[in-house]
Structure 1
Amino acid sequence: MNTPTTESLAEKILRGVGGPENIESLTHCATRLRFQLHDGEKVDQAALDALDGVMGTVPQSGDRFQIVIGGAVAGVYSDVMNLPSMSGAGTPRPQSDAEVKAEIRAKGRGRFAWLDNFFEYLSDSFRPLLGVLLGASLIIAIASMLDAFGVVDFRSADKSATWVFVDSMWRSVLYFLPIMVAYNAAKKLKIDPWVGAAVMAAVMTPNFTGMIGSKTPGVVTHTNATLGTSESVAHVFGLPMQLNDYGGQVFVPLLMVALLALVYKGLKRIFPENVQMVFVPFFSMLIMIPMTAFLIGPMGVWAGNGLGTGLSWLNGHAPLVFAIVIPMLYPFLVPLGLHWPLNALMLVNINTLGYDFIQGPMGTWNFACFGATAGVLALSIRHREKDMRQTATGALAAGLLGGISEPSLYGIHLRFKRIYPRMLVGCLVGGVIIGLLGGVNTKAFAFTSLLTIPVFNPMIKYIIAISAAFFTSMALVYFSDYRTKEERAEANAERDAAEATTRGGIPAPAAPADDRELVAVGAAATVTGASAASAASAASAGSAAVSAGPADVSAAAGEGIELAAPVAGHVVGLGEVEDPVFASRALGEGVGIEPADGRVVSPVDGELITVADTGHAFGIRTADGIEVLIHIGIDTVQMKGEGFDVRVESGQKISAGDLLAEVDLDAVRAAGHPTITLMTVLNTADMASVEPYTGQDVAAGARVVTVRR
């Protein structure tokens, strides 16, 4: 007999994207698996989002699909690629005649997939370099810290050979970045990446750069006495060629590879397949190296310098506006991968101006992001949310130590809509401080983390700004919560039920008094430890009351207070309800009623303490202090009020039988939710007994629960 094996995360992901036969290609970046699929409709997004180890999913146009993993993405990618079933994956699927025609029609309709493709090209040219860029930035940070403590003069012109060598360790990445970008860009456009790298390398060789300012015959150097700059022009084959040092330039390889792709693919159509290996690279280099040296290179330098000059003008003439715009823009650019062009401008600034003024304001966005994550972490500790605590801890570590915001964004912030507005306030506060204090510059490209603080100047201004951004976001998220009241109460109730199950039916210790809510907008409430304990014991007491029936109730102590049925229908015990929170009695003893119609009335006289915005839950407190929850359907909060016509409002005095809401039960069923209406006594622990009467068909207003104090 074979023992079944546990399915791995890689296998679950593969199944979720429609199987290996649905995968055209798979790559990964710092945090995400990036699928190009044959059919995006085959993805089971809900199943993927529910997987442990998956922070979130991002569908994109053109059957592209991203799965956010976090720091473990490389290992998961390797696991997926090494699955036996992936041996036949990654090949384009033949298109039918109808599909080809549909694709042509789609292009003719002017869809914006081209814009998506453009930014994908930019992003994928940089994403694989994230690791080495981060490594270089940390080397710079360490050297800057040593400089700050007086160990070495980091900017001295006559440093020892040791520190010249240390400089080469990070300059290798930034100087040869154009070759790396060219390689990635060519790979993205599905041409030989080494041809792209070779073309870019040709204008970065010592032979080429050595002509700048030299006495080489045919090279003329002009000096601008006013600006103190010089420009060299070489006459090659009788044509003037502007000479530039392309180290660190990123616009040049992006422009060059875009044209190289057209040339390369055109040559592949011209030459027979058996000679393509020789002649396609040969003619590509023969055409593109001169094209890059004479035309694309100078154009790329001009474009990059122009954009940098424009931003420099804004920074110089309206520094407050600039310092606010940058951190307020980044939270929307990063999730879409559109921030890389701005990152490229940072490199241009460093190469042309000797410093960059974008990274300082950008740092306030990063720390506002990390502050929001810290607020979530503090709340997860307070509310004993194990999974969120683990997610937030990892995301905060990646941010504060590595300057990487994606784990925070995809793992937390984009999942809870309340976080972004609070995080933007932190961005605004940090940006205003940077602007008012006169800006912050840096002479190095650095990921904005705690470790890279020393590379910013003036450092004290930067520390003040990022601290304000961090703690503003953290405080706003912590004190107003990243969940709505209904989500918080529901999450706490699920936690209590899970803890009760783990402890064998004994609920968790008491929560702080300020965590206790009568009923949250959304249908659930937390109870104190004493209430939870009594609720657990009430389960058995309730069961006994059900079996005893109304005839035996008179034996119970105290005068009974009757709760009427809020809807007409068949009464069942909470133990028969599908929702584990209600079934565990974490929200108190009560009944469930399978409704015969959608008319919901008040079961008691009292005051409406809470009325859910979505209309699916009501909290009532009687003059005797009995707290009653009425919850219409299960998970109906997801309907966002559709099908619920609420007739009352919070704070209103009501009488038994008053209409609370009319519900379209067919709409609830169509949305896939059970229609059962639940009524519980939230403060069951404060009562002598709560006695439900089940197994009967009742009209609205009939007795279904007796409460004895």
Structure 2
Amino acid sequence: MRIVPVDEAAVDRPALENVPHVVAVAVAGDQLQIVLGPGRAQLVFEELSERVAAASSRAPGRGGNPLVRAIRVLVDIFTPLLPVFVAGGLLAALNNLLASPGVFAADSLVEMAPWLTGFAALAGLLGAAVFALLPVLLGFSAAGRFGGSPYLGAAIGAALVAAPLIERAEASSGVRADDAGGWQIWGLDVLGVDYLGTVVPIIAIASLLAVIERFLRRRIRGTAAFLFTPMLVLLLSGLLAFLVVGPVMRVLGDALADGVRWLYETTGVIGGVLFGGLYSPLVVSGLHQGLVPVELGLMADGGSFIFPIAAAANVAQAGACLAVAVAAGRGSRLRALAVGSSAPAALGIAEPAIFGVNLRLRFPFLVAAAATAIAGGLVALLEATAVSLGAAGLLGFLSIPPRSFGAFMVCVLTAVVLAFAGTFTWARWRIARGRPLEKPPEGTDSATASPGTRTVEVVAPVTGDAVLLSSLADPVFASSGLGPSVAIAPGEDLVRSPIGGTVTAVANTGHAFGVTSPEGVEVLVHIGIDTVTLRGTPFAPVVGQGDTVSAGDALGAVDRAAIVASGLDPVTIVIFTNADSFTIPWMSAAPRFRSGDPLARVVVEETGATGTGTGTG
């Protein structure tokens, strides 16, 4: 188990070495390494984490409004997947553009240019795979969020999507129990539920998997833990998944679909308003998948009201997301995320906009849902229907019969205009009052430079290209485990201080520097991944602990060529190690930095100041 102590002088190594089951204690750079033996490191880590969480009122997921906590969990699970969602949505949209007739001419582009057929099919496959196999991705992300093994989460997600594929395929006869292609446990057909593209089942299962894994790891030790714990976790999780969660979600989904159909058919315009307002929350839960059989039945009877409302909901989320992009600060990470999420939503893939931007800010999501409710009422009033499935967005007109085309366009335009206008008005109202668009987790809106607070500007320590944190080889850095972080691939050999203050730490090997501003903002500048193993060879610090520096002053020199020659990554990472003491209303999303360019803005509450706090940042 590796620990980076806040105060190295406070570490009592002899006492640690005398603790039962501690094999050895070593110091490597700024890391304290405690060797605990097979299977024990994870157990000790979990126990320490639980004790720290129990002692802290700011522990993630504890306290506060239950709805806010639930939204926060969803955001934590979906945020790492947003680049994949955006890519999948754009690829699916590209396939629609190439393969749908009537977009550019009466015939589709692939019909007019057959050589595009294979390319369009590949784009469609890549886009569809992201959402069809969504339980695998969500299993990985959700299991990690709940404290379990992400790889076991991905494995149980793969089992969920494999079941219907096995049932349909001619292969995999080894898991078939009869000619019908399935088997039963306690009277339930294990392969009878299709989880392709679902959301809620795998999140619920991942939470159970994490609980089971922690329970077993505390009771199975040593070599047996390596051999049997993963197997038992998957087996027990699988039983719960296929025998409890799956049937419950199937009943819930069927009941929801039947209720929606009854509501719409018996209440008319009111039903359209209610269904329109509920559609986006259904997307959040994944329960909208249960509407597909109802929609197909409606189309067989002459037309479906669900598709026009779904299209209005998606473009409303796109409009709200685009309003955030327009209102957000130039170069901000929020603007970059909102711009990248708006286009897929407009073309029918709303998850990036919902989970990445609108739901995280809350109000844009509610505005989009309200706009969809109004559009839903218009769908019912104007009797807009669809006769086929397709991209539920701006290209949805391809699924609309000529008699309903005008009504469909009125509904869609109404949704996007209302969502954009409402969100933009809200955003400008917040900005005019000095409030950041993105609220701190505990709802402390006053976390800006206002009376009783001070702003600290943080700058880039090196010149180079921005690096996606999730691409880093070290899981701690990749997950921002030490605090909010920014990574830069350096294009120079001099590393400078990102803030003014006191040098509070210099690693013995020279690969890391800690600087604390007068306001108490602690920043760690870490050079390279696993460069502590180089024992200081490529590094030449020019400051020592206790020195005073200004933003832009040199901290040290580094031989990047030597790091690369050693097979290591020289990426420079700026980490806010005490982010619970302040808020970060803005972080740059620029693709490239020059040394000294603005990197982040930090707001700190002054000691003894009156007013509301700054939250957890």
Max radius of gyration: which structure? 1
Query: RCO (CA 8 Å, sep 6+): is it higher in 1 or 2?
Result: 2
| TM-score category of the 2 structures, normalised to the smaller one | 0.3 to 0.5
TM-score (norm 2): 0.46
